[in-house]
Structure 1
Amino acid sequence: MSKYIVIGAGILGASAAYHLSKEGKDVTVIDRFDKGQATEAGAGIICPWLTNRKNEDWFKLVTEGAAYYPRLIKDLNGLGIKDIGYDQVGAINIFDTDEKLDQKYKIAKERQQQFPEMGKVSKLSSKEAQELFPLLSDEFGAIHISGGARISGKNIRNALLLATEKNGAKLLKDNAKLTANKTGNVSVHVDGKTYPSDKVIITAGVWAEELLNQLGFNLSISSEKAQILHLSMPEQKVKVWPVVMAPFGQYMLSLTPDRILIGTTQDTNDTTSLSTVKGVESILDKALHIAPGIKNATYMETKVGFRPFFKKAIPAIGYLPGYSNILFANGLGASGLTSGPYIGKELACLAVENKTELNLDSFTLEHVVSKR
């Protein structure tokens, strides 16, 4: 049986490993689980259809990712896994002028024809928006997308890894090192032991560069530090509220019966995994303007994760140059929780030499990987 080793167990690597194990492959997953992993800290909104981004390749990834989630959740439920962190509670996109609201509503109705998974699309007055999310200011009208969902990065990652192990895979919580001989054969080493493999899949996020360096490559990758605030409001029934997409790149959502999450910072200079006063202040200033009802909430914690991204702001997916046995995928950025499971599925298809749905010519490694 062919052996596959996946290095990096964020949402992308966990999905690739799950889909390989689902096909009955011999899979080993290796991850150090360092502090600052984007998936571990992340909580996201699955509602890509209202984006202002113009890149068609990226839009394909996130819309396919959103459409794939219900099928994935059904498969995981079929394995007896229930704590997945995915809830289709709907999403509201808020606007401070009627002009902006009307423009986006027109776009939403047009895209609804192409993407029926959006569900019902409605235009809401400020009062109607507050009925769905009572903490909001009365300054904002909104568009409601019934097919929008929320996702816990930690929960979906853990669910995928549990499913992978149920399918017979091994999970090693340790550091992986790579060596290559003159013929191009690559060996994976963990704590002094060598693990044989037919293919290695590197999905190590912002930590991938050190692995590629071991094989003689440079990686042009950057990171974005995201801080996410957790607030407690036990007197509110926040579990049933929709997710909120707000101006300034902000969002709000709930993951537990009493907890509100607010994000996020987008710091490309800070590389520490610690929360900062500046980051918390920035998030709260914007959040209090959008949702003054949070003023009575209790601050619980701030989670920090580093999102990997490339200069072109789209992922890179494919074989490492010169190697037919090393696959690499990275650079999902802020939309990783939306696209990660789908890209992982496609990566597994590529690894077993099945036809992918994606045209991977748009996601080559040429612009991010170079020989040292």
Structure 2
Amino acid sequence: MSQTGNKSEVIVLGAGIVGVSIALHLQQRGRTVTLVDRRGAGEETSYGNAGLIERSSVIPYGVPRDLSVMLRYGLNRSADVHFDWRYLPRIAPWLWRFWRESAPKPLARAANDMWPLIERSVIEHETLMSQAGVLPLLRKTGWIEAYRSERTFEQACRTAATLHRFGLNYDVLDAKALQQREPHLSNVLTGAIHWLDAATVPDPGGIVKAYAKLFTERGGLFLCGDAHNLKQEQTRWSIATASGTVEAPEVVVALGPWSDTVFRPLGYRIPLLMKRGYHVHFGTQANAILNHPVIDAENGFLIAPMNQGIRLTTGIEFSRRDSRPTPVQLDRTEPLAREILPLAHRIEAAPWMGSRPCLPDMRPAIGRGWRHKGLWFAFGHNHHGFTLGPVTGRLLAEMMTGDTPFTDPAPYALQRFAP
């Protein structure tokens, strides 16, 4: 089915991994789709992640229950979490709910709800990558969770053993085995867990662009426009773009950390919060090589081999989405990263900064907007946007086209935030 003029059956707002995946899955089911973004595909949050398709992270990233860790966070003495104190009063209710949802029983429920999406994450990426002609970029070699102290390493091994119900595959590596798997890592690390089910890519933004290219090659329209211009007129939605106004009976809001710019004016009160993060690329000294992404679990940063070099990514910064960058975490973690891998100079003059769209119950919002006909949402994937983009696209497309969803979408429904 081909599009005619400026009419479409569905407008998808947002050309990150989630929006592009939704557009592709709707297109595959016969819908005419127009994809709209103010920038190119994969140039915002989808660009700056660690390139992990994280099938092994089955427990959502909750708040640690260790009071000493919480105190270190609260005093801004941690490299993996940083607060803008001016922002704290505004986000205190969100943080309180996040704390409650991170208790053992709610966290276990969240893990069970997220498992159907996590379980299919690599498979759904693999399908789209094959169709887009970029499957050779998929590295099914997992990632390494490394530890500096024996105590925390032993604790992590005990935690890993409790996840047997998810059927995860992993290797426990002592210092010698870790050196064999990653010869250029230093002996600062005493042990690691190598999670084997996850996959990685060397250029996540490039993968999103490949998916977007597949969408347009199949006849989809990708137009430049600002989601602020979205309007509802009787039974149709419209948006002004650089190529004219586009109309459709249905619209999908997949704007990641900017989704609130659409849902708030429409009357939805969804507790979306942004966790900012930074990255910068390095060369290596003496031709040192990194074969897998490696997380320094005790210091909350990750180093990953990318096309641009070794990418150092930070943990969480709680700050306003559009406030000035404060890359203090990079300054704290760079010396720590140099302790475990011989990094050379920074490749970029300035670090990249992006925002992760997060909801306090650690589940994304996927489904129909209950206040408006033809309005759909897909955002709030927390730390797993790149991981869950294709599987989210499949689930929402099945819901929108009347197919039987591959899993119950109820845990992700927006109605859980309805007054």
TM-score range, shorter chain: 0.7 to 0.9
Aligned-pair CA distance for 1:180: 2.0
Aligned-pair CA distance for 1:158: 0.9
Distance 1:213 1:50 in 2: 31
* 2:224–2:241 contact (8 Å) kept in structure 1: no
Aligned-pair CA distance for 1:102: 4.0
Distance 1:123 1:216 in 2: 49
Distance 2:211 2:108 in 1: 29
2:23 is aligned to 17
Aligned-pair CA distance for 1:56: 3.5
2:153 is aligned to 101
2:347 is aligned to 300
1:41 is aligned to 48
Say yes or no: does 1:178 pair with 2:241. Answer: no
* 2:128–2:390 contact (8 Å) kept in structure 1: no
Distance 1:17 1:357 in 2: 18
2:252 is aligned to 201
Mapping 1:35-184, distance limit 5 Å: 37-49=44-56, 53=60, 54-58=107-111, 60-61=113-114, 64-65=117-118, 67-79=120-132, 81-82=133-134, 85-108=137-160, 111=163, 114-115=166-167, 118-119=168-169, 121-133=170-182, 134-151=184-201, 152-176=203-227, 177-181=229-233, 183=234
Pick from 341, 362, 374: which aligns with 1:313? Answer: 362
- Aligned to 1:49, what secondary structure does the other structure show? coil
1:189 is aligned to 240
* 2:363–2:411 contact (8 Å) kept in structure 1: no
**1:140-164: per-residue Cα shift (whole Å, max 9, x none)?**
2012233332233302211211111
Q: 1:78 to 1:30 in 2, by over 3 A?
A: closer
**1:57-90: per-residue Cα shift (whole Å, max 9, x none)?**
35553663453324532443244x2278532232
1:282 is aligned to 332
Aligned-pair CA distance for 1:13: 0.6
Percent of aligned positions that are identical: 21
Mapping 1:345-364, distance limit 5 Å: 345-364=394-413
**1:277-296: per-residue Cα shift (whole Å, max 9, x none)?**
5232122144245x1x33x4
Residue type matched to 2:295 in 1?
M
Root-mean-square deviation over aligned CA pairs: 2.9
Q: 1:27 to 1:237 in 2, by over 3 A?
A: farther
Aligned-pair CA distance for 1:110: 5.7
Name whichever of 258-267 and 215-224 sits farther off. 215-224
Name whichever of 343-352 and 48-57 sits farther off. 48-57
* 1:228–1:265 contact (8 Å) kept in structure 2: no
1:271 is aligned to 321
- Aligned to 1:196, what secondary structure does the other structure show? strand
Residue type matched to 2:214 in 1?
A
Aligned-pair CA distance for 1:111: 3.8
**1:170-192: per-residue Cα shift (whole Å, max 9, x none)?**
101222422224x5543333248
- Residue correspondences, number: 360
Say yes or no: does 1:233 pair with 2:239. Answer: no
Say yes or no: does 1:333 pair with 2:379. Answer: no
Distance 2:14 2:360 in 1: 21
Q: Where is the strand percentage greater, Structure 1 or Structure 2?
A: 1
* 2:126–2:135 contact (8 Å) kept in structure 1: no
Residue type matched to 1:225 in 2?
R
Say yes or no: does 1:29 pair with 2:35. Answer: yes
Aligned-pair CA distance for 1:230: 1.0
Residue type matched to 2:27 in 1?
S
Distance 2:288 2:397 in 1: 40
TM normalised by structure 2 equals 0.76
Q: 1:123 to 1:204 in 2, by over 3 A?
A: same
Distance 1:282 1:51 in 2: 28
Distance 1:342 1:131 in 2: 35
Distance 2:294 2:357 in 1: 24
Gaps of 5+ in 1: none
Q: 1:225 to 1:113 in 2, by over 3 A?
A: closer
**1:236-271: per-residue Cα shift (whole Å, max 9, x none)?**
3636x0111222332121012x71111114112143
Distance 2:357 2:128 in 1: 28
Name whichever of 302-311 and 84-93 sits farther off. 84-93
